Every structure is written in C-alpha cells, then in structure tokens.
Amino acid sequence: MRFSTALFVWVLLVLATVAELALFRIPLDRTVFTVALFGLAGLKALMIAVFYQQVIREGRDVAAFYLFALLVALGLIIGTLTSMSGMTTTHV
Amino acid sequence: MSEITAQWFQLFNLYALLGTVAGVVVIGILLFLTVKFRAKDGASDPADAPKPGRIPPERGRIEAVWILTGLVGSILLTLTFGTINTVNLILTPPRKPVMTVEVHGFQWGWKFIYPNGKTTVNEARLPAGTPILFKVTSDDVFHKFHLIEFKYGVDALPGRFNEVWFSTDTIGTYTIQCYELCGAGHSNMRSRLVIMPPSEFQQWYGGG
Amino acid sequence: MAEITPNSVRYWLFTTNHKNIGILYLVTSFYFLLVGGALALLFRLQLAMPQAEILSASSFNQAVTVHGLVMVLWFLSPLAFALANYIVPLQIGANDLAFPRINALSYWLYLFGGVLAAIGFFTPGGAIDTGWTVYAPLNTAKYSPQVGTTLGALGLLMLIASVTASTVNFLVTIFKMRAPGMRLMHMPMYTWGILLTVFLMLFAFPSLAAAGLILAADRALGTLYFASHEGGALLWDNLFWFFGHPEVYIVLFPGLFAIAEILPVFARRPLFGKRVIIWAAVAGSILSLMVWGHHMFTTGVNPLWREVMTVLTETISIPFGVITISLILTLVGASIRLRTPMLFAIAAIAHFIVGGITGVFNSSVALDYGLRGTYWVVGHFHYTLLGGAATGLIAGVYYWWPKISGKMFDERLGKLHFILYVVGFNLFAFPIHLLLDMPRRVYTYPLESGWLLNNIVATAGALIFGLSFLLLFFNLYRSLRKGADAGPNPWSSWSLEWLVPSPPSPENYGGQPVVSADGIISIKPLLVNGGERIHVHHLSKAPLLVSLGTFTVFLGLALSVPIALVGLAILVASLVIWAKESWSSHHMEGLQFERWPFRGVEKTRLGVWWLVFGEVVLFSGLILSYLWVRFMSASWPAAGTVFDLTIGAANTFILLTSSFTLVAALAAARLGKHSMVRAGLLTTFVLGLVFLLNKALEWSQLFAEGHTFGSGLPFSAFYVTTGTHGAHVLAGLVVLVYLIVRSFRKPEEIHQSVESFGIYWHFVDIVWVFLFPLFYLF
C-alpha cells in the first residue's frame, strides 16, 4: 500500500486512542461508555486488519477464516459468561 | 423409593429401549451386508471398483440421507421432551414444607449441618416423606455429592452452594459417595444416609 | 550434511523428510501405547480384586491420570499423525510438508513433552494425579503440591506447541501443495479427515493452552485464578471442555476417515455419499465447538444454557449418524474381501455405533445427573475412542503397512489379532456399562457393592485385548524379515500413493503428479530446473536442539532455575543455527500451484495467518478468564486507580506506531529501497523494545507498591494477560532481529518475509488494542 495511506491510517488510530482517553474523562452512563469504548477499540482493530494486515487484499478465503476465528472467540467468551447467569447457586 | 429416581429409571429405560433397537438394527444391517455381499473366491471386480490412478465416481442418492436425518431427528426429539420433563422434576422443589440441610464435602468426608445447628459427619439422618433441600458446597476441592441408590446428586464446588432437593418414603440405610476425583482419599469419601420414621427422627433431632 | 549415512542414528535425529517423521511418530506412539496400556493393566488388576493393594490410592490416581493423558495425547493423535505424515503428501502429490523443519520440530517437542511429564513419576509425590481432566482447584499448588503436577502441565504445554506447529503445517500443505488438477473433492478420504482434524485442532487447542498457561502461572507464580472461589472450578471447567469436546472429534476423525478410505477398497465399490460424508463432518466439526456444556450439567450453571447444550449435543448425532449410514451403504451390492484392514474397519464401525448410542444418553441433562462420574461414561468413551477411533487407525496401520515397509504382513496372524482384539475389547468395555453405579477413579470398592463380577470380566477382557497387540507387533516385525514383497498396489486401490513403489523413493514420485480434467492421476516427467534431482534428505540439527532447549527450560522452571538458564542458552543457540542454515525451498516452488482456496497467498504467509487464527482463540481464552473472575468478584478496583494510565496509553501509541513503521518498511522493501527497509525494521524493533521496557517499569512500580502476582485477582489477571501479550511482543522482537540481520546481509527478496512477519506483528498490535481498554479504562 502507499506510504501516505499508511500514514493516514496511523493518524486515525492515534486519534481513536485519544478519543478513548477522552471518553474516560467524561462522565457517562456505564453502558454507553462500554459500548463506545469497545466500539472504538473494534474500529481500531478493523483498521489495522484491513489496512496493515491487508486482509481484503489477501482474499475472501483468508477473510472468511479470520471471521470464523472471531466467531469462535466470541462463542467462547459469550458462551461461557452466559452460563454464569441464573445459576442455581448462591454465594457462600 | 423416590419420585425422581422412578422417573429417572423410566427415562433411562426409554433411552435404553430406543438405543438398543437402533443399535441392534444398524449393527445387524452392517453384519448382514458384510456376510451377504462377501465376494466368492476368484470373484471379479464390479464395474465401478477402484482402478489405480482413477478418481472414483460419485455414488449415492441424497434423498436417502434426508430420510435418515428425519428419522434420527424425530427419535432425538422424543428423547429431548422426556429429558426436559425429568430435569424440571429434579430442579423444582415441591410446595410442601422443606427442611434445608447444608452439605459440606471435604477431603475426605461429608459434613451435614441441620437448621437447628446440629452437625453430623459421614452420617445423614433424615425423616421419610419430608422433602429435603440439600445445599451442597465444598470446603476445599471439586467433589460430587451423589446418592447412589437414588441415582442423582449435584457437584460440590468451593465458594458456592448447589441446591438439589430430595424426598423418599422408604425407610432404610443408603449410601452417599463422592463421584468426582478429589485426591488420595476419594475412594473412601462415603457417608451413610439413614432414612428414619418421622417420629424417630424427631426424637434424634430434638426439635428446632 | 551430505556425509551422513542414510539410516544412521544421526540421520534419524536430523531428518525432516515427512516419511521418516511418520515412522518416528509411528514407533513413538506405539511406545506410548505400551506405557498407557501397562498402566491400564495395573489398575485393572487392582480393580479386579476386592480391597486389593497392588496400587495405593495415590499411585492409582497417578496411574489413571497418566493413562488418560498418554492414550489421548501421546498415543491416539500421534498415531493418526504418523499415518498423516507419511501418507497425506503422497496422496495429494506433494513431495514433503510445507515446512519440513517445523515438522521435525513437532515430532521432537512431542517426544520431549512426554518425557517431561513422565519424569514426574520419579519425583517426590509422584506424577500428576488429578485425572486427565486436571480439574481445579485440585490442580493448584495447595491441593497438588507435588512437582509432578507442574511437570505434567509443562509437558502438556510442549505438546500443545508441537500440535500447533503440525496444524499450521498440514493446513498450508493441503491447501497449497496439491498436484495440478487435484481439486479438494478429489482428495482421498484420509487426507480429508486430516484436514478436518487440523482445522478443529487450530481452534480447540488454544483454549487448553490458555488454561494451561494460567495453571502454570498459578502454580509457579502464585496467581489466584484457580485457587480463588471466583475463578476456581468452573473457570477451568469451561476452558478445558471448550477444548475437550472438539478434542474427541480430533481424536476420532482420522480413524473414522481411515475407515472411509479402506471400506471402498475392500468392498470394490465407490464410497456411498462421499460429498455428504464430508459435509456432515464439516457440520459436526462446527457443532463440536458449541457443545462443551454437556460436561458441566451437574455444576449448577444456568438451566436454560444446559438445555441449549442438550439440544446442540443431540444435533451432533445427526451428522455422525449420516456418516455411519453412508459407510454402511457402501457395502450394498459390494464384492467384499475380508482382509485384515477390512475386518478392523467393520469392527470399528460397529463399536462406534455402540459408543454413539451411549453418547446420546450422556447428552440428556436428566440422565447425566445419574451417570456423570460413573463407569457408564468410561464405557461410552472407550467404545468411541478405543473401539471406534483407535480400531480405525489400526485398520489404517495394516492397510498402509505394505506401502511404508514394502512388505506384506501375515494375513492369518492379522485375523488372529482381529479375533482376540474384538473379543478382548468387548469383554472389557461392555461390562463397564453395567457398572453404571460405580464411581470413576476409585482404587477399590466394598464387596457389598456387587461391582466385583463386572470388574473381573472387564479385567479379563483388558488382558486379552492388551496381549493381542503383541501379535500386531510380531506380525509387523516378522514381515520386515520374511514378508512377501508388497509391490506398489497390493490392495488394488486408486489413490496416488499406490502408484509409486513401496516404499516410495525419497522424493516420492520420480516425476510430477498431475490430475486430468476427467479424473485420471498420472506422473509426468519432472520439469524443474532442467530436471535436476531434488536434495530431499533435508537434514537439520535445529529442530532437535530447539526441542531439547525448550525441554530443559521447562524442566528448570519446575525444578531449579540454573537448569532453566542452561536451557535458555541451548534454545538461543539452536534458533541461531536454524536461522543460519542455508535452507533452499526452491524445490518446493515448482510444486506449488495456485488455485482455490487461498489463491495468491504465499505459503509462509498463509502459515502465519493460520497461526494468527489460532492465537485469536488463545487470547480470547485469556480475556474470558479475566472477565469471568471480574464478573464473579463482588468488587473490583475502578479504572485508573491501580494501573498506570500514562504508561498504558504510552504503550498503546508506541505499538500503533511500530505497526506503521513496519508497513513503511514493507513498502520500501517492495520498491527495493534497502536502506529504508533497514531504517523501518530498526525503528520497529526499538519501539517494540521501548514497549517492553515500559512494561518492565510498570511492573516494578506495581511490585514496589506490594502488588505482586498473588495480591488479588485484579493483579493476577493483569499480569497473566498482559504478560502473555508481552511474551508475544518479545517473540516478535526475536524474529525481527533475524530480519534486521538479513536486511543487512541479504536484502534481496526480503519483502515476502517482512510481509509474513507483519501479519503476526499487526495481530499482536490488535490484541493490545483490546487489552488497553480492558485493563486500563474499563
């Protein structure tokens, strides 16, 4: 990819990080904060994957398996955390 | 013995019946085909036999697969309904008054704490006919609180109580054992479960 | 290396040829079979006598634990990979795996990992004794203080490294190194089985790796994940079984697909529903990642979650039912020759059916309340894994033995083995189901229980079954001396491996395999570099030395630090040797053809992508563990109060910039601007180094404040998660050193390596992009 594109992406990544830090300072509803924070993180990750790892240029097959890996990861996290709720137990 | 145990065995027998029939039929077909289509000595190859260097042709009709899928699926659906009913029974305590007994698994025995503070080790005495709620926990590692003759139990985890209810009308002495490997003493982590007539139990328990 | 004699000891120590590695795996896996089998016979004898004292309670626990670990991880899968190593390249038209030295590394890591775990037997307190499932908190230092458990866990980590390397290797090989014209659907069934197996391995093993890393940290550093109530039993349960369930299919597929390969050959008809079988297996694989909850039905987790797991688990029986029925339908209208491989294949199907049916019982939450922790479960998995998968692999051994050795085994001995095997196995495994009251892993039981008779029968069966293996070994050994010459195609099969001599020449074909449009495989004369013969012995010292170094480091971590330092020295030296070896992969280029899938993705880069996909799951396991202990905790320090936001933010900017400088270096490399490449690589290195130095500063600050590994869950989670990430940065820096040196010495063609490295480095950056908010801002 072109050097100028890489630089531009870098600027965006830095700005997104600054935004995350700014979010931290602003008093926000917890849910809004969480969604915004991890939304920004997700955006950064996507930019790195698309522009630096060049996922799209690699082709649909690589992108498909990358997505699949992500789904497995989310399945592990969400699948495990949901097992916690409504447990027929109480804390000691 | 106990409503849960009776239902458990019903469910098990249902699975066993369907499973045995399915197994006998399928393995039977497998063996039958093996014998029926055994080649006679010196038999020649069928037309589509493997030939060196030739990718084998496709064989088989998709319809057969769908039919079989449907068949297997319906069997499983039947079983699932039976399962859900039984699980609900295990997890839902009845409306009659319930006595709560805390159970602590430890390396290597079982401690029972009654509502009035009475504590026993490796012997649980309970009145017949009264629904009991066991609140099971562990004082150290992962154990399993299992009522052998009644065919169920629940895991004993450190830091939390797992609840399971129990009731039986049958007087007698039964066995509780740990069913999760928990160290060198695992094999002997056993407790007696004594079901007594309610009056005898009251005498022993002393009220409260 | 040209002066090393073929078949000398040094030849076998340094070989990287896939056929030799296959033989090494074959011999070693059978050795571990003997180890695991001997342990089994010991405890079966113990259980056949009431109140026996052949084994003490503690020795018994060690025996069953090591038996389980060895059989699943050091025998079954390695045997599958022995065949895979030898046969898969031959079947698809490759003349080796994509990365031969990495292949050798896989083997040596596997061997040394097993040795490391076994050393536990000779240490005070004995070997690991927690059951092969190593449940928490029994696995913590408090309840299993003996060093044998730590050695077991570390041996396991070595095995996981071995397996990960193999996974990447086979995925790249199968996708990129098939002969021209060989489409995926043309591949023989065993190769398909291995493809699906490694695909599952890629996504399942990282969960175990995460659990193992955390356990190692808990035991060696004092972190609190499994020792705490918040983490404890359920966290391990989830991580382990997320791996554990797909693992059983990982163990099953090679045997199952070996059966699918063998059946048509001896039935003399094509496989019924080949496409359907493959699609069903794909569906089963994906489902297998979603059913781990059925190992946790009695733990008190969310009841609805359990019902979902029941339904998903029962759904898995459908694809496997379809596969089984398709296999059976292959026999309709067939002309069956009941030779030894076929006998074992048919028995394997029958056993698998029994095991599959008892599995349906286990999928029911209600029945599980009564069956969990009992011998019913033991019966189920022995029918599926031993009766089904292992039997299928034994069929494969008999089937491919003539190709590997060039000799025919004795058919009557084979049939005798078969009879004793089947009788012994069923005599052992069937009564086990009748012991559905008996708890697992007890070393003795009271006579009044009534369990004695079934135990005696099971032991008798086990003895017959175990001894039957002697027939196998004798038969194979004898064939080497006295067997008839097999010729290229003794079974009149169709696939490519049967078109070459038995055993094949070192570079496999003496030509270029090609598949024509109408499905004919042939071998054309070679047209690479003017027909020059390829140097195929590929000897390299590095894989053995790297494994030895790793082994020594881990041994030292468990026993004493000076040993670990010696190991580190060996490791560093061996990596330098690896980097400096003049390794020509030119001969491979001629055998790589672009077609779907992964058209245009160069081999090494594709390998890095696969590695990254696996790492996604590894980090998700670590992140899950952090979220789990956090949500289970009654209170947690607010963001900004314990962890230094300035350092965290600085590190985020640093790592982002390092990605940018690496991309710049790649752009320069493509344009041939060598000095810019060096500048870019050096800057990336410096930034990475600063990242690590910052981290060291941060950690020492925390330590100075008294916040060490065991100071509380927030710190345990922080150190383990960001520490693992830091280790990945460090590993990246090591590779970067190699790239920098190369950018000075031999900068031509460096862009491919920089690009491959970039995939990894940017991924490490992505992980930090999530870790930063998770630990510093949330």
CA C721/CA B147 separation, integer angstroms: 41
Residue B154 near chain C (CB below 8 Å): yes
Same domain (yes/no): C149, C34: yes
Report the b/e string of C203-214 with b at 16+ CB within 10 A: bbbbbbbbbbbb
> pLDDT at position C747, please?
83
Task: Name the pLDDT band for A90 (thresholds 50, 70, 90).
Answer: very low
Based on the domain organization, do C294 and C421 belong to the same domain? yes
The total domain count for chain A is 1
- What angle, rounded to 10 degrees, do the helices at C411-434 and C391-405 form? 160
Any B CB within 8 A of A85 CB: no
**How many Cα atoms sit within 13 Å of C635 on the Cβ side?**
2
With CA atoms as reference, the chain A residue closest to B162 would be A89
The whole-angstrom separation of Cα A46 and Cα C393 is: 43
| C363 and C401 housed in the same domain | yes
With cut-offs at 50, 70 and 90, classify the pLDDT of residue A87. Answer: low
A30 domain residue, yes or no: yes
Backbone angles phi, psi at C486, to 5 degrees: -80, -30
Q: For A91, which residue in chain B has the nearest alpha carbon?
A: B160
- Cβ atoms of C508 and C95 within 8 Å: the answer is yes
Task: Give the range of the structural domain holding residue B20, as residue numbers without chain letter.
Answer: 1-34+61-92
- Domain end among B69, B92, B115: B92
Instruction: Name chain B's partners: 3 or more CB pairs within 8 A.
Output: A, C
- In this predicted structure, which of A1-10, B148-157, C577-586, C758-767 has the lowest mean pLDDT? C577-586
Domain membership flag for residue C610: no
Residues C654 and C507 in one domain: no
Report the half-sphere exposure of C87 (CA within 13 A, side-chain side).
31
Query: The tokens of C447 are what?
Result: 């006579």
Question: Could you tell me what percent of chain B has a pLDDT over 90?
Answer: 60
Q: Which of C598, C617, C667 sits opposite A62 (nearest CB)?
A: C598
The domain total for chain B is 2
With contacts defined as CB-CB under 8 Å, which chain A residues touch C292? 79
Q: What angle do CA C22, C26, C31 make, to 5 degrees?
A: 150
B65 touches chain C (CB under 8 A): yes
d(CA B124, CA B103) in angstroms, rounded, equals: 9
Asked if the C-beta of B78 comes within 8 angstroms of chain C's C-beta atoms, the answer is no
The answer to whether residues C565 and C656 belong to one domain is no
Domain boundary among C582, C610, C643: C582
Neighbours of chain C (3+ CB pairs under 8 A): A, B
Q: Are C774 and A34 in contact (CB under 8 A)?
A: no
pLDDT in tens, B48-101: 999 999 999 989 877 767 777 777 777 777 777 767 767 777 777 666 767 899
Chain A residues in contact with B91 (beta carbon < 8 A): 88
Whether A92 sits inside 8 A of B157 (CB atoms) is: no
Give the global pTM: 0.95
- Rounded to whole angstroms, the Cα distance separating C24 from C447 reads 46
Residue A91 in any domain: the answer is: no
Closest Cα in chain C, distance from residue A12 (Å): 10
CATH code for position C654: 1.20.120.80
The residues, any chain, with a CB within 8 Å of residue C555's CB and separated by 6 or more, are C116, C119, C151, C154, C563, C564, C567
Question: What average pLDDT is seen over chain B?
Answer: 88
Same domain, yes or no: C510 and C547: no
Q: Which residues of chain C neighbour A84 with C-beta distances below 8 Å?
A: 301-302, 628, 631-632
Q: Is the pLDDT of residue A91 over 50?
A: no
Q: Does residue C568 share a domain with residue C681? A: no
Check residue C295 and report its DSSP letter: G
d(Cα C519, Cα C498) in Å, to the nearest integer? 16
User: Which of B20, B51, B72 to probe by mutation at the C interface, max C CB count within 10 Å?
Assistant: B72
List the domain range (segments joined by +) for residue C744: 635-777
* Residues of C with Cβ-Cβ distance to B82 under 8 angstroms: 364, 366
Residue C439 maps to a domain: yes
CB pairs under 8 A between A and B: 18
Burial of C528 (0-12, 13-18, 19+ CB in 10 A): middle
Domain end call among B50, B76, B92 = B92
The encoded tokens of residue C5 equal 């004699």
Residue in C300, C621, C773 closest to A87 by CB: C300
Q: C239 contacts in A (CB within 8 Å)?
A: 80
- For residues B145 and B160, the answer to whether their CB atoms sit within 8 Å is no
Residues of C with Cβ-Cβ distance to B26 under 8 angstroms:
324-325, 328, 353
Chain B residue numbers with beta carbons less than 8 Å from the beta carbon of A88 are 91, 162-163
Contact A34 C639 (CB under 8 A): no
Per-10-residue mean pLDDT for chain C, 778 residues long?
Answer: 71 94 97 96 93 89 95 97 97 93 97 94 92 94 92 94 97 94 94 97 97 94 93 94 96 97 97 92 95 91 87 86 92 95 98 93 87 95 97 98 97 97 98 94 91 96 97 96 95 96 90 92 73 59 96 92 95 92 50 76 94 97 96 91 94 97 94 92 97 96 94 95 97 95 87 94 97 95
The reply to whether B25 touches chain C by the CB within 8 Å rule is no
What secondary structure does DSSP assign to C591-651, as a single string? T----SSSTT--HHHHHHHHHHHHHHHHHHHHHHHHHHHHHHSS--PPTTSSS-HHHHHHH
Structure tokens at B53: 């260097």
- Assess whether B103 and B80 both reside in one domain: no
Q: Give yes or no: residues B201 and B114 share one domain.
A: yes
Distance from CA of A4 to the nearest CA of C (A): 10
The whole-angstrom distance between A75's CA and the closest CA on chain C is 8
Question: Using one digit for the tens of pLDDT, what is the confidence trace for B21-47?
Answer: 989 999 999 999 999 999 988 888 999
In a mutational test of the C interface, the residue from A76, A77, A84 whose CB has the highest number of chain C CBs within 10 Å is: A76
Q: How many helices (H) and strands (E) does chain C have?
A: 24, 2
Looking at the fold, whether B111 and B158 belong to one and the same domain comes out as yes
Q: Does A89 map to a domain? A: no
**Contact across the interface for B162 and A89, Cβ inside 8 Å:** yes
pLDDT of residue C453: 95
The Cα A67–Cα B132 span in angstroms is 50
Closest Cβ opposite residue C242 in set A41, A68, A76? A76
pLDDT at position C17, please? 93
Euclidean distance between CA atoms C726 and C693, whole angstroms: 10
The full length of chain C comes to: 778
Find chain B residues with C-beta within 8 A of A92's C-beta.
137, 159-161
